[in-house]
Every structure is written in structure tokens, then in C-alpha cells.
Amino acid sequence: MPELPEVEVVRRGVATHAVDRTVSSVEVLHPRAVRKHGAGADDFSARLAGRRMVAARRRGKYLWLELGDAREEGAARGGIAPPLGPGEALLTHLGMSGQLRVQPEQAPDEKHLRVRLRFDGGGDELRFVDQRTFGGLSLVSLVHADGVPVPAPIAHIAPDPLEPTFDRETVVEAMRARRTGVKRALLDQSLISGVGNIYADEALWRAKLHWARPTATLTRPAVRSLLEAVVDVMHDALRAGGTSFDALYVNVNGESGYFDRSLAVYGQNGRECPECGAAVRRDTFMNRSSYTCPGCQPTPRNAHW
DNA sequence: CTCATGCCCTGCTGGC
DNA sequence: TGCCAGCAGGGCATGA
């Protein structure tokens, strides 16, 4: 499952292989992959063709490729200017199973290939492959939020913990003001973005907090150490190239990360906690799994289920 | 406004 | 061997 560290690995790959290239043609093989693009697949393809990728950026689990000025490029291509101005981007979310792959044009189509981008001059293609179709692409305009250009549809999402604009103390106060459980707050993208189920469980384990602990009962130092744990686990995962349980997460070259070997509790039901040796337990919460060590993260008396 | 819940989607796994 | 329930889960719409 791609979460922030995995998306960052993909961003780096896309920055290397797609930035400074100009899209020559776009093929949408499954309309659901561009469902967020309101004007439809044909419009998506027509507008993206001829645009130059100028930068690869990320907030949380969203990744976008900033596009060069369409009018100049359109003029250069014989006056067939797409009706877009500057300040736009190709926005992507990988969902659960989305992949951006750099592939030679002669490579056979992947079974779940959804969108193909070809570039001027031929060579490698950029492919969006997605088994479960929770992910997708769209063309969006950029707006300024706190002085940072972000895609308009995700302007409501909070900075992620690896961004320079992330203000830890703001998040500490916002979390303590919530009347909910700490994991639900960690997964709330309007408070802090980029934290998914895997890294939420790992950070809670490192901070020795149970997922059902009410945020209102946490001291400021406890929230600070939780946010530090989030940053630490994400940095560790990034160094390992991300977490891959199966072939669903790979980088743009199709390679898996190996952080799954370093997971303390996530997916470790019944295994020994690396800290105290107690058997890791799995609970169902928010219709998904939460893994805890009963020794290191005892259930709080006032649990917020 | 805050907080909680269900749905979208496909493929793999395990029980019978 | 085949069938089906359960599971993976981010983000959004909707309801309380």
C-alpha cells in the first residue's frame, strides 16, 4: 500500500524520468482512472498532450507533475493550444494499488494498465497501472495555500510531517482539541496528511500509545513524541525504499521496498513484539485492522473506540 | 461545526 | 475441486 514514503520514492523516480519531457500523446485505457477529471477521458488526453512536465511535487499521498505554459507550447506546436493557462498540474493519487511505471514502449502492456503517456522523441513511456482502481489522474489548477502552490482539489489537506511548512505545535494543539481517538486523529488528512494505516500503527507503537487513547487526555509532550515517531518511522521507511507486502507497491522501475522487514506490529498478528516479546494483537477499528502490542500499548480505561 | 460510518473496487486467501 | 465470505484501505459523501 503506498503511503507517504512510498509515494516519495515514486516522486523521485518520476522526477528523474518524466520531468523535462513533453507529453506527445495520452491513452486512457480505463475511464475510471480519470474519473476525478470532470470533463472526461477525451478532454484529459487532449489537454495533456503537448504539455511539458516541469517539476514533480508531493503532499501527503498526493503526487503532481507541474506543467509548463500551454499557450507557448501550443504555439510552438502549430497554434493548437490546449485551453489551459499556466499554474496547472497532472495530479495523481495511487490509492491502494496504483503504480507509476517507466517502461520501454515495446514492453508488453501490464494487465491493469489504465493510462499511458508517450513523450516527444519516443523512448520510455510513463504508465499508470492500478489493479483496484482506487487511484487516478486528473488535470487541475494550482492555487496558493500558506504561500505554497498546491492543486486546488487538495488545498484543504494539511501539510505532511516531512514538509518544511509543517508546524508541529499547531498540530499538537489541534490534536488535543479533538474529541476522538488518537489513531482516528492521525488518519485525518485535514490535521496531518500522509499518515495511513501502516505508519499510524508503527508510530503509535514507537510512542507507546494505544490507538483508542482519547486525544484530549494526551499531554503536549506525548503528542510531540508521537509526531516525532511519525517522522522517524517515515524516514526509516524512505531509507528502505518503502514498504512492500506484495507486488502492489513498486517504484517506477518495478522494484519493491524492504521496510516490511522492519515493521514492529503492522501485519504481525501473533508475532512477538520486538520490544517486550508479548504477542502482537489485531483489532478491527474503522473497518480496518489495528495492530498493537498489549504489553507496550495497554488498552486505556477511557478508550475512545 | 465535529465526529462517525459506509461505499467504491479487484484479486487473493481460507474455510467448507 | 469450486464457491463464497472476508480482507486489503484512502478519500469522499452522507448522516447524526
Q: What is the pLDDT of residues A112-136, one digit of tens each?
A: 999 999 999 999 999 999 998 999 9
Work out if A24's Cβ lies within 7 angstroms of strand B: no
Place of cell 488518519: A187
- What is the tens place of the pLDDT at every residue in A191-240? 999 999 999 999 999 999 999 999 999 999 999 999 999 999 999 999 98
Distance CA A146, CA A164 (A): 12
Give the residue among A222, A213, A218, A205 at the shortest CA–CA distance from A303: A213
A255-259 — which CB contacts under 8 Å span 24+ positions?
Answer: A257/A5, A257/A6, A257/A9, A259/A5
CA distances from A99 to A53, A117, A180, A209, A223 (A): 18, 13, 33, 33, 33
Distance CA A198, CA A236 (A): 13
CB-based contacts of A177, cutoff 8 Å, min separation 6: A215, A216
- pTM score, two decimals? 0.92
What is the structure's pLDDT at A181?
Answer: 94
Distance CA A51, CA A64 (A): 14
What is the structure's pLDDT at A250?
Answer: 79
Distance CA A122, CA A141 (A): 27
Task: For residue A2, indicate whether it is catalytic.
Answer: yes
Of the residues A83, A132, A288, A298, which is catalytic? A288
Query: How many Cα atoms are found within 13 Å in the side-chain-facing hemisphere of A267?
Result: 13
In strand C, the nucleotides that come within 7 Å of a protein beta carbon are: 7-12
% of chain A residues with pLDDT over 90: 75
Handedness of CA A88, A89, A95, A98 (dihedral sign): positive
Backbone angles phi, psi at A240, to 5 degrees: -90, 0
Give the CA A197 to C1' C4 distance in Å: 27
Mean pLDDT over the full length of chain A: 90
Q: Mean of the pLDDT values across residues A92-114?
A: 93
Distance CA A228, CA A233 (A): 9
Grade residue A71 by pLDDT with cuts at 50, 70 and 90: low
Handedness of CA A117, A19, A2, A134 (dihedral sign): negative
Question: Residue A249 above 80 pLDDT?
Answer: no
Of the residues A47, A61, A101, A206, which is catalytic? A61
Distance CA A49, CA A26 (A): 6
Question: Residue A81 above 60 pLDDT?
Answer: no
Grade residue A83 by pLDDT with cuts at 50, 70 and 90: very low
Grade residue A241 by pLDDT with cuts at 50, 70 and 90: confident
Of the residues A3, A66, A73, A202, which is catalytic? A3
A148-152 — which CB contacts under 8 Å span 24+ positions?
Answer: A149/A66, A149/A87, A150/A59, A151/A62, A151/A64, A151/A89, A151/A91
- What is the tens place of the pLDDT at every residue in A153-197? 999 999 999 999 999 999 999 999 999 999 999 999 999 999 999
Distance CA A228, CA A23 (A): 40
